[in-house]
A = this chain, B = another copy of it.
Amino acid sequence: MTDTNKQTLINRRHKVLGQHSPLFYHEPLNLVRGENVWVYDENGKRYLDVYNNVPHVGHCHPHVVEALTRQACTLNTHTRYLHENVIQYAERLTSTFDTSLSTAMFTCTGSEANELALRMARHCTGGSGIIVTDFAYHGNTEAVAELGTAFMAEAKSTRRVRSVSIPDSYRSPEGLHGEALGEAYANEVQDAIEAFADEGIKFAGLLICPDFANEGLLNVPPGYLEKAVAHVHRAGGLFIADEVQAGFGRSGRHMWAHQGYDITPDIVTLGKPMGNGHPVAGVVARAELTDTFGGSSMYFNTFGGNPVSCAVGMAVLDVLERESLLKNAQDTGAYVASGLRALQAKYDLIGEIRDLGLFFAMELVTDRSSKKPAPDACDKVVNTLRQQGVLISKIGRHDSILKMRPPMSFQREHADLLLSTLDDALALAQTQI
C-alpha cells in the first residue's frame, strides 16, 4: 500500500468513524493478518506483538478458531434456553477461584462486567460510594466512566466515587517504605470511607485492578491490599477485583492477580483475554450476592453466555492448560525481565523495571534522582519500535511508562528480538533527551 492509499483509508475512516476515533502510533498501522505473536501489514511486513493481551493464547489460535466455527455452525442462541456450554464454562471458570466465588454471570465486554459488578455491589450493600485509585480506568459506560479518574469527564462531576493514591513504591511519599508505606496508602482507603460517611453517602465498595495494570503495573507495598480490603469489609463494603486486564494467568504464578495477595474478593470482573478476541466477559461472585441481585433485578444479556462465546472461552482455557502457558509466562517472563534489567544497567533513562509474568512496565525518567518523567523519550521509543517491527505502547499519568504485554505464547526468541530492538531504540532516545 502506498502512502497515498493509506491516507485515503485514514480519510475514509475520519469521515465515517469520526475525526477522533483513536489510532496507535504517529504512523498508523494497517494490519491485515495475524498468527501467534506476529501481525502483518498490507505490504507483508511483520511486527512482533508485545502489546496485545486480547489475543491471549496467540493471534488466530487454530484450536480457538475451530471451537468458534464448530459452535457457530451448530447453534448460537441465548441463555433463556438451557445449554450445556454456558453451564460447563461457568463450572470450569469458577473452579479456578476460591470456593466462595462459586457463581458466574456472563456479559460481552469488560465495561459490561464492571457495570454489572457495580450494580450488584450497590444493590447488595444498599450503598453507592465506590473507591478507586486516582489513575483508574475501568471502562466506557457512564457509571464506569465515573470511576475513570484517568480519562473521563463523568468522573469529575460525581460525588459517589472517591479516589485514593495509587499504591506506588517508586513514587512514594518521602521516608516511607515497606509495610509502613503499605499502611499509609491503605489508610487513604479508610479516610475515603470516612469521607463518604461525612457526606452521608453510604459506602458500597472498593474497585481496583489487583495488578494496578493501568496505573503502571505497580510494585505494591507489602500489606497494602490486605489492609485496604480489611478496612472495606469492616465498613460493610465489598471488594471488587477488576481482572479484565490482569486475569487468565498473565502473572504466570496464579490464574488470577488477586491470588497473589492474602485476600478473597467478593466480586471479580473478567474480560479482554477471555475469548482471545471474541467479545466475551463476565462476573464471578459469591452466590449470595448473585442470588440477592438476581432475585430483584431481572438481569439478562442477550449475547452474554451464548453457546458460541462459551465454546470459545473453553477453548482458551484448553490452550492455557495444554500449552502450559502459565509456566511459559513465568519462564519467558523471567527471561524478559532479566534482559530489561540489563538494559536498565546500560541506560540512565530507565528509572524502574516492573514485571509480573508476561506483563512489563518500564518507567522512563530524565534523571534517576529527581525521577522526572520522560514522556518524550517514551513516545520516541514506542514509535521507533513500531518502525522497527515491534509493537508496544505506553501508559501512566505522565505517559512515561512503556507497557509490554505480549500474547502468553511469547518465547525466548521473541524476547531476544524485543530486547535487541528496545536496546537500539533506547540508545536513540537517550541521545535526544
Contact with B along A154-183 (1 / 0, CB 8 A): 100000000000000000000000000000
Across the interface, A22 reaches (CB within 8 A) one of B80, B278, B279, namely B80
Interface residue A44 (Cβ < 8 Å from any Cβ of B): no
Number of copies: 2
Interface residues of A in 360-389 (CB under 8 A from B): none
Q: Per-residue CB proximity of A1-35 to B under 8 Å, as 1/0?
A: 00000100110110111111111100011111110
> 8 Å CB contacts to B: which residues of A47-96?
52, 54-55, 59-60, 65, 68-69, 72-84, 86-87, 90-91, 94
Determine the residue in chain B with the shortest Cβ distance to A80. B24
- Give the interface residue-count category, chain A: 35 or more
A294 contacts B20, CB within 8 Å?
yes
- Cβ contact within 8 Å between A151 and B13: no
* A108 beta carbon closer than 8 Å to chain B: yes
What separation, in Å, do the CA atoms of A333 and B9 have in the docked complex? 41
- Residue numbers in B under 8 Å from A80 (CB-CB): 22-24
Most buried by B among A82, A111, A276: A82
19 contacts between A and B (CB under 8 A): A12-B87, A13-B86, A16-B87, A16-B90, A17-B87, A18-B290, A18-B294, A20-B291, A23-B81, A28-B82, A34-B76, A55-B76, A60-B72, A68-B68, A69-B72, A112-B141, A141-B141, A141-B142, A153-B297
A140 to B308, CA, bound (A): 21
User: Within the complex, what minimum Cβ distance (angstroms) separates A26 from chain B?
Assistant: 13
Residues of B within 8 A of A59 (CB): 75-77
Q: Is A102 an interface residue (CB 8 A)?
A: yes
A191 vs B255: C-alpha distance in the bound complex, in angstroms? 55
B302 and A82 within 8 A (CB): no
Assess the A86–B17 pair: CB atoms within 8 A. Answer: yes
Return chain B residues, CB-CB under 8 Å to A30.
81-83
- Complex interface: stretch among A115-123, A201-209, A257-265, A416-424: A115-123
Q: Which residues on the B side are within 8 Å of A302 (C-beta)?
A: 54, 109-110, 271-272
Inter-chain CA distance A60–B102, complex, in Å, is: 32
CB of A104 within 8 Å of the partner chain = yes
* A293 → B minimal CB distance (Å): 8
A16-B102, A77-B277 known; 6 new pairs, CB 8 Å cut-off, are: A18-B294, A22-B79, A32-B75, A272-B302, A279-B280, A279-B306
Say yes or no for A39: interface residue by CB 8 A criterion: yes
Chain B residues in 8 Å Cβ range of A17: 79, 86-87, 90, 103-105, 290, 305
The listed residue (B9, B34, B295, B298) touching A82 by CB distance below 8 A is B9
- The reply to whether the CB of A432 lies closer than 8 angstroms to some CB of chain B is no
Q: Report yes or no: B145 in contact with A108, Cβ–Cβ below 8 A.
A: no
B22 touches A298 (CB 8 A): yes
**A142-B119, A277-B77, A303-B108 known; A295+B60 contact, CB < 8 A:** no
A24–B60 alpha-carbon span in the complex (Å): 35
Q: Which of A32, A69, A75 has most B Cβ within 10 Å?
A: A75
The 4 A-B residue pairs whose C-beta atoms are closest, nearest first, are A20-B294, A76-B277, A18-B290, A279-B303
Which chain B positions have C-beta within 8 A of A74?
32-34, 60
B110 x A109 contact (CB < 8 A):
no
Closest-by-CB residue of B relative to A75 is B34
- Interface: A43 (CB within 8 A): no
Nearest-CB residue, chain B, relative to A77: B31
A68 to B68, CA, bound (A): 9
A152 at the interface (CB under 8 A from B): yes
**Shortest distance in angstroms between A93's beta carbon and chain B's nearest beta carbon?**
9
CB distance from A391 to the nearest CB of B (A): 9
Tell me if A143 counts as interface (CB < 8 A to partner B). yes
Q: Indicate which residue in B21, B75, B272 contacts A39 across the interface (CB closer than 8 Å).
A: B75
* Residue A309 is within 8 A (CB to CB) of chain B in the complex: yes
**Contact among B143, B280, B309 with A141 in the assembled complex (CB-CB below 8 Å):** B143
Assess whether A334 is interfacial by the CB under 8 Å rule. no
Residue of B nearest to A11 (CB): B87
C-alpha spacing A329/B55, complex, angstroms: 39
